[in-house]
Structure 1
Amino acid sequence: MTTTDPSSTRTVATVDPAPPVADPALIGVPTFLVGSIALGLVLTGYVPAAATGASIPIILAATGIGQLVAAIWAASRDQNAVASVFGIFTGFWLSYAVLVLGLTNNWYGIVAEDAVQTQKLFLLTWLVVIVLLTVASIRLPLAFTLLFALIDLALFFVFLGTSNASTSLTSIGGYLVFAFVAVGAYLFLDAMSRSTGGRGLPLGRPVLT
């Protein structure tokens, strides 16, 4: 766009502000955080051990659906890496909800003695996949790699707690959940700042450039 300088006959070029860039993180990150907070409270004993399903309404109706919406949005914008991340966590959260509902309601015919092995299978499987995601994230800003590494640690300690029937180890996993919630909150503030015309927050240099 051009305008005329009223004090002269010069024509002054002006630049229209760039439109905001679509960012699926504005849905994906906060819905990830709300489910993580609920899970962390369960793991650290905020609710009785018998009330494992207390977090499921949030995880199923908010986090699982939110991750799916963010993944579809990212894919529609050809943001392939972002779609992959949110797609992976869609699978994690929805399968966690189905696991808890299935075990508590005996949907799968798994006897009580095998329930722990089933939980271990779930945790180990997802630990392997998210470790792979962590390795793949080394070209992203450091904050993302840190987020995924903390998720790895949380899953590992919950796996150890489940394997050894140790509430202490499980609680450590829960506190690690709160640690990655803090990193996720920082990423959400960065995304929100950028989307509202502000400067993004420093996210750190990638491990591998």
Structure 2
Amino acid sequence: MVEHVDREAPVIPAGTKVTRDIPVGTRVTEADFGAGAEPAGPQEVQVGAGGDPLMIGIPVFVVGSLVLGMALIGAVPAAALPGIVPVILASTAVFQLISTIWAVLLGQGMVACIMALFSGFWASLAALLVGQAHNWYGTAAVQASSQVQLIFFIAWDVLFFFLLLTMLRLPAVYPAILVLAVSAVTLVILGIEFPGVTQPLFMAAGACVLAFGALGLWVFLHIGSVALGGPPRPALGPPLIK
């Protein structure tokens, strides 16, 4: 196997078939072998070699946040809450999963982690809403239903809190989104635990969800500008921990 392509060697005449192997990953131009020549041996094919997975992950995150936030502040009756499932499942969860795969192909481990976790949250929330509405899990009794919801939201709240800690080295807007997400889930937990003040607590949670949806739009403007060759604006803020 040849380890180095000698660029000082004479140019091989056009049409000459090159018989030596080229290491995988070596960048070969027409000038290296003469016009029309084809290097022999395996050639590397790169999959997912560019782009920004957040271009998909952020806008679908925003639309899921908007429908959930509006539902929590009372835009739809509580009994109609499963009606948000088409958006949070078929749009947000699915396309954040696609964003996860894209990030994996690029080797962006942290982006893949964040997108995968949020995809799991939206998909499991959809399963909880639909499953409880149709009593798939045998939790028709009010007390049992509330306990299942508490377990669900407490588990995600703990995870989001520790995800927040890992994101403190990112631009400030990202941990800000997680602060609002943790606050929203905590308010939902309190609303479930204390039925007497459920409505105001859920409305406060909905306001937090709409707020982090707005921050998601801020991020989308930034990454959209960069993707189209513009300046990195609006600014995302400095990392809280360097």
What is the rounded CA distance, in whole Å, between the counterparts of 1:116 and 1:158 in structure 2?
Answer: 11
1:169 counterpart = 2:201: yes
Q: How does 1:85-164 map to 2 (within 5 A)?
A: 85-112=114-141, 113-164=143-194
One-letter amino acid of the counterpart of residue 156, structure 1: T
Q: Is the 8 A contact 2:132 2:140 kept in 1?
A: no
2:207 paired with 1:178: no
Structure 1 residue 111 displacement after superposition: 3.2
Partner residue of 2:38? none
> What's the CA shift for 1:185?
0.5
Give the TM-score taking structure 2 as reference length: 0.77
CA contact (8 A) 1:143 1:203 kept: yes
Structure 1 residue ranges, 4+ long, deviating more than 2 angstroms after superposition: none
Distance (whole Å) between structure 2 residues aligned to residue 43 and residue 61 of structure 1: 20
1:14 alignment partner in structure 2: none
* 1:81-134 CA distance string (max 9 Å, x none): 000000000110000000111101111112322101111111100000000100
Higher relative contact order (CA 8 A, sep 6+): 1
**Could you tell me which residue of structure 2 aligns to residue 46 of structure 1?**
75
2:33 corresponding residue in structure 1: none
Q: Distance in 2 between matches of 1:177 and 1:111?
A: 28
Structure 2 stretches of 5 or more lacking a match?
1-48
Question: Which amino acid in 1 is paired with 2:84?
Answer: S
Q: Is the 8 A contact 2:50 2:106 kept in 1?
A: no
For 1:44 and 1:101, locate their aligned partners in 2 and report how far apart those are by CA, in whole Å.
20
Deviation digits for residues 172-194 of structure 1 (CA, Å, limit 9, x no counterpart): 00011111011111001101000
Displacement after TM superposition at 1:21 (Å): 4.8
Is residue 103 of structure 2 the alignment partner of residue 70 of structure 1? no
Aligned-residue identity in percent? 38
Alpha-carbon RMSD across the aligned residues, in angstroms, is 1.1
Q: Is the 8 A contact 1:68 1:87 kept in 2?
A: yes
* Counterpart in the other structure of 2:229: 197
Higher helix share: 1
Q: Give the aligned partner of residue 57 of structure 1.
A: 86
Which deviations, in whole Å up to 9, do the C-alpha atoms of 1:118-157 show, x marking residues without a partner? 1111110000000010000011111111111111111111
> How far apart in 1 are the matches of 2:163 and 2:169?
11
Contact 2:68 2:84 in 1 (8 A): yes
CA drift at 1:207? 1.1
Specify the SS of the correspondent of 2:75.
coil
Structure 1 runs not aligned, ≥5 long: 1-19
**Paired AA for residue 177 in structure 1:** V
* 8 Å Cα contact 1:42/1:54 also seen in 2: no
Counterpart of 2:44 in structure 1 is: none
